[in-house]
Structure 1
Amino acid sequence: MSYELIATLMFSTMMLMLMTGQRVFGAIGFVAVVAALLLWGDKGGYDIGFSAAMKLMKWYPLLTLPMFIFMGYVLSESKIADDLYKMFHVWMGGLRGGLAVGTIGLMVLISAMNGLSVAGMAIGATIALPELLKRGYDKRMVTGVIQAGSSLGILVPPSVVLVLYAMIARQPVGQLWLAGVIPGLMMAAMFIAYITIRCWINPSLGPVLSAEERAMPRREKLALLRAGLLPVVIFAVMMFPFVKGWTSLVESSAIGAIAAFVAAVLKGRMTREVFENSVRKTLGITCMFMWIILAALAFGAVFDGLGAVKAIENLFTERLNLSPWVILILMQLSFIIMGTFLDDTAMLVIVAPLYVPLVGALGFDLVWYGILYTITCQIAYMTPPFGYNLFLMRAMAPPEITLRDIYGSIAPFVLVMVGALVMVMAFPQIALWLPNYVYAN
């Protein structure tokens, strides 16, 4: 049996299992282990899964994963994140579309605290969305704002998705996180520009808050500003030593987790319930990602042993005679298609064993490609019919937000994301300048 046919059988079996509702790590790991046993028998087949587990256990940077997730859940469960929205509400309510702009700012900061898009979606849908609707904001526009803003969670550091990519692509997590900073802020700025221009053209979409609502003594405003900026201070305390080279990434993640815990204690919000919820959710998310990484490593090891990556490379470059850029664009399109029915982690572990080595063989930078992959996942999150964020919003939105509203809200924001993707593809230094600068110094 040819290597191409074996690879096709592995992928088709895995996709069939996923379509039947099996867990991602279960489907991928099962196919990897069974294929290893059939190909190499008892002597070599058992070693693949064991070697993948040992590689995972020895990967020291993986310790950042539970630290950052715990930090995000502490800030969320203790309601410190709620203070952010109150700050934006008061300070930006006097602008046309100001609350929508403030919501994008909220999403950026939530992303910097948690690293997961679902956290931003939950806070935006439960805190920001009702306030925006109550104040006469257009429901379609603000629904799109929250979906697009929450997708920044997988791009802005400390992105959990980039940790997973780093493990599979064998790239430094710190470089990938730094590479996501400028593209993430650029995309947020593009969202804000779109909101501002649209509300300037049609003020009814984002009305200014009344003077009564904005009336607040300056002392109270400053107090609210200090409370709202606390998560920013925690993030700065965590990242500054790392950027300066004083601490490792793991040490900085521990600083962030401790700082969040201390902040919740000092504000009197670290109750037993908050602590238990934070630990339980951190454990659940961390274990899920570790199982996925383990399955992906085993799956990738089988492909390395088959030589399937070289076969795919020859197919594209020699038989079909495609240029590297055409191959890269086809990869991104395949991610968008898969994103209509899979989440980001599933997409990555399914195709990473093929795509990541192929990208390296074509001469592209793997850190840069990690950012391209992440932006493409953001687009896939919001692409009908089964975009991940579309159904999250439907589950969390109030009854007056219909599925038609949710689908109709995302078109302009998807276009903005596509524009950002094209810019990062055309100008790789948008992603690579910051990590190159920091690591060079």
Structure 2
Amino acid sequence: MSYEMIALLMFAAMMLLLFSGQRVFGAIGFVAVIAALVLWGERGGFDIAFSQSIKLMRWYPLLTVPMFVFMGYILSESRIADDLYRMFHVWMGGLRGGLAIGTIGLMVLISAMNGLSVAGMAIGATIALPELLRRGYDKRMVTGVVQAGSSLGILVPPSVVLVLYAMIARQPVGQLWLAGVIPGLMMAAMFIVYIAVRCRINPELGPVLSKEERNLPLREKYALLLAGLLPLGVFFAMMIPFVNGWTSLVESSAIGAITAFIAAVLKRRMTWDVFETSVRKTLGITCMFMWIILAALAFGAVFDGLGAVKAIESLFTERLGLSPWMILILMQLSFILMGTFLDDTAMLVIVAPLYIPLVGALEFDLIWYGVLYTITTQIAYMTPPFGYNLFLMRAMSPPEISLGDIYRSIIPFVAVMVLALVTVMVFPQIALWLPQTVYGN
């Protein structure tokens, strides 16, 4: 049997297990170990799993994952995110669509607190969405706002997904984070422009708040501003030493976690329940990521041994005669297709053994491609029929919002995301300028 056929059988077996409802790490790891046993015997099969386990345990940057997740949960569980929304509520309520615009700003700051899209979705759906609906905002527009804004969590630093991509692609995490800053802020700005223009054309979609709600004493307004910017202070306390080279990535993540803990203590919101809940959720997320990475490493090791990457590169470039850009576009389309039934981490670890070496062989920049992957994942999250964010939104939204409303709400925001993706593809310096400037590459 040819190596190409073996690789095809591995992928087919893995997808069959995933469709049957098996856990992602179980499906990937099982196929990897069984393939190694069949190809190289008992010793080869055990060596693959053992060596990848040792490699995982020696990955020092992996310590950043629990630190960032813990930081996000502390700020979320201690209700510091509530202060953020109150700040946007007061300061932006006088604009048409101001609360929806403020929700996008809230999501950007939540992303800087946590780095996971599900955290932004949970906070947006439980804090922002009821307030927006109560004040007469169009239900389809605001559900789209919450979904689109929450997707920024995997692009704006400290993105946990970019940390995982960095580990698998062997790229510097700091450069990937900086590469995501401008595209992430650009996408947020595009969302805001869309909301402002649409609400100006049709003011009923985003009515202005009454003067009674906005006319607070100036002292109270500034107090809310300071309270709302506290998470941003935590973010800068973590990022400035790292960008300046004073601390390593792991040390900066520890600074972020400690600073968030201290902020919750100073706000007198650090109860035992908050601490215990944050630790439990952090442990669950971290263990999930570690199992998935271990399975991905084992799967990738088998593919390296098969030489499947070179075979697929030869198939695309020599047999089919596709150009590098055509291959890249097909990769992005495959991500959107997989996003209909998989989350971002699963998509990355399934195709990383093939796509990342192939992108390097085609002489594309792997830092730039990490941003493209992340934006494409954001689009996949919101693409019917089974986009991950669509069902999260349905589970968290009130009864008056139907699944049909949720599907229709994301159409304009997906269009904005596609425009952002094309812009970054055509102008790579949007992603590469900041890391090249900071790191002098």
Give the TM interval when normalised to the shorter protein: over 0.9
1:80 aligns with 2:80: yes
Listed as ranges, the matches of 1:4-19 within 5 Å are 4-19=4-19
Name the counterpart of 1:96. 96
Query: 2:94 aligns to what SS in structure 1?
Result: coil
Query: 1:247 aligns to what SS in structure 2?
Result: coil
> 1:175, CA displacement in angstroms?
1.1
1:224 aligns with 2:224: yes
Distance across 2 between alignment mates of 1:173 and 1:18: 29
| TM-superposition CA deviations, 1:186-216 (whole Å, max 9, x none) | 0000000000000111111101000011111
Name the counterpart of 1:349. 349
| TM-superposition CA deviations, 1:41-78 (whole Å, max 9, x none) | 12322111111111111111111111000000000000
Distance across 2 between alignment mates of 1:116 and 1:18: 23
Name the counterpart of 2:42. 42
Preserved contact between residue 174 and residue 243 of structure 2 (Cα < 8 Å): no
Opposite residue 382 of structure 1, the aligned amino acid is: M
Distance across 2 between alignment mates of 1:62 and 1:346: 17
Name the counterpart of 1:60. 60
Name the counterpart of 1:328. 328
Name the counterpart of 1:255. 255
1:24 aligns with 2:30: no
Distance across 1 between alignment mates of 2:340 and 2:64: 30
| TM-superposition CA deviations, 1:270-296 (whole Å, max 9, x none) | 000000000000000000000000000
| TM-superposition CA deviations, 1:128-166 (whole Å, max 9, x none) | 000000101000000000000000001111111111111
> 1:170, CA displacement in angstroms?
1.1
What percent of counterpart residues are identical? 84
> 1:341, CA displacement in angstroms?
1.0
Opposite residue 75 of structure 1, the aligned amino acid is: L
1:172 aligns with 2:172: yes
> Which range moved further: 262-271 or 42-51?
42-51
> 1:96, CA displacement in angstroms?
0.4
Listed as ranges, the matches of 1:143-162 within 5 Å are 143-162=143-162
> 1:368, CA displacement in angstroms?
0.6
Count residues with an aligned counterpart.
441
Name the counterpart of 2:435. 435
CA RMSD of aligned residues (A): 0.7
Opposite residue 64 of structure 1, the aligned amino acid is: T
Distance across 2 between alignment mates of 1:436 and 1:37: 44
Distance across 2 between alignment mates of 1:236 and 1:388: 30
Distance across 2 between alignment mates of 1:39 and 1:96: 64
Distance across 2 between alignment mates of 1:341 and 1:141: 24
> 1:25, CA displacement in angstroms?
0.3
1:114 aligns with 2:114: yes
Opposite residue 360 of structure 2, the aligned amino acid is: G
Name the counterpart of 1:313. 313
Q: Runs of 4+ in structure 1 displaced over 4 angstroms?
A: none
1:243 aligns with 2:238: no
Listed as ranges, the matches of 1:372-383 within 5 Å are 372-383=372-383
Name the counterpart of 1:412. 412
> Which range moved further: 338-347 or 310-319?
338-347
Distance across 1 between alignment mates of 2:400 and 2:432: 43
| TM-superposition CA deviations, 1:326-351 (whole Å, max 9, x none) | 00000000100111111111111111
Q: Which runs of 5+ in 2 are unaligned?
A: none
Distance across 2 between alignment mates of 1:249 and 1:348: 22
Opposite residue 289 of structure 1, the aligned amino acid is: F
Distance across 1 between alignment mates of 2:73 and 2:345: 20
Distance across 1 between alignment mates of 2:131 and 2:11: 46
Opposite residue 172 of structure 1, the aligned amino acid is: P
Name the counterpart of 1:132. 132
Opposite residue 252 of structure 1, the aligned amino acid is: S
Distance across 2 between alignment mates of 1:330 and 1:383: 17
Opposite residue 370 of structure 1, the aligned amino acid is: G
Distance across 2 between alignment mates of 1:52 and 1:189: 41
| TM-superposition CA deviations, 1:361-398 (whole Å, max 9, x none) | 00001111011000000000000000000000000000
